[in-house]
């Protein structure tokens, strides 16, 4: 089953994708993680990606399509995948449809998780991460026990450069302009399910499970 997760940064796509990955046994492909890995490389592509991310801008379609489709060629996607952050534009969605069609596959479901802008800004600008064990904390909702120190491994926590409040607002505006039409693309094809991510985690999980056919699985 191929599932696309849509929605603004901070809406909870990654949280739901990681949970579904564990339940469904298909890989969670987060283009944000792919781009951060590229941005850490000291080469032309890495510097280009890093510059876009630090300004809160999207990586151009041609680069995103190449990176996304390359990842889909990996053997672990044979039974489907959870796409988080790709496609982000209609051009990317069209490229994905064509690529999957050549394999006799399609996007089976597009989950569109939404939330109010101010909630998203609070979530993202307060987020801090451990790059050693990938634990995620939030100063507002889930602070570490010791300031800027990971509870799990003790390593120093960091705030992502692309999650400063002013950068977050730019990312949200860019999302509204470019990604919302992707939701309409999948709505027209009858595969879109919209979920309001501002409610309790239990309610959101129940609706997500129902959409993917896992109702009652806990």
Query: 83: closest CA among 91, 93, 75?
Result: 93
- For tokens 């993680």, the residue is 33
Distance CA 4, CA 194 (A): 12
Of 13, 19, 71, 122, which is the active-site residue? 13
Query: 11: closest CA among 131, 170, 121, 92?
Result: 121
Q: Does 55 participate in catalysis according to the annotation? A: no
Q: Does 18 participate in catalysis according to the annotation? A: no
Of 50, 71, 123, 127, which is the active-site residue? 127
- For tokens 């050693």, the residue is 132
Of 50, 71, 88, 122, which is the active-site residue? 88
C-beta separation of 195 from 114 below 8 A: yes
Distance CA 216, CA 218 (A): 6
Q: Does 13 participate in catalysis according to the annotation? A: yes
The count of other CB atoms within 10 Å of the CB of residue 191 is 17
Of 160, 164, 169, 178, which is the active-site residue? 160
Q: Does 160 participate in catalysis according to the annotation? A: yes
| Residues annotated as part of the active site | 13, 88, 127, 160, 171
């Amino acid at each position: 089953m191929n599932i696309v997760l849509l929605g603004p940064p901070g809406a909870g796509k990654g949280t739901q994708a990681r949970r579904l990955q564990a339940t469904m046994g298909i890989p969670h492909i987060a283009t944000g993680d792919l781009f951060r890995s590229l941005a850490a490389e000291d080469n032309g592509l890495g510097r280009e990606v890093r510059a876009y991310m630090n300004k809160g801008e999207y990586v151009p379609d041609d680069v995103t399509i190449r990176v996304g489709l390359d990842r889909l060629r990996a053997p672990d996607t044979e039974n489907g995948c959870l796409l988080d952050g790709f496609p982000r534009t209609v051009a990317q969605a069209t490229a994905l449809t064509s690529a999957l069609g050549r394999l006799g596959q399609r996007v089976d479901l597009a989950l569109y998780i939404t939330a109010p802008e101010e909630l998203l800004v609070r979530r993202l600008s307060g987020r801090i991460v451990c790059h050693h064990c990938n634990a995620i904390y939030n100063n507002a909702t889930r602070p570490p026990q010791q300031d800027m120190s990971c509870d799990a491994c003790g390593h120093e926590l960091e705030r992502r450069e692309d999650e400063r409040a002013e950068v977050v607002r730019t990312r949200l505006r860019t999302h509204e302009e470019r990604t919302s039409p992707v939701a309409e693309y999948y709505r027209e094809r009858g595969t879109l399910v919209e979920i309001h991510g501002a409610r309790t985690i239990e309610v959101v999980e129940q609706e997500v499970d129902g959409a993917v056919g896992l109702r009652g699985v806990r």
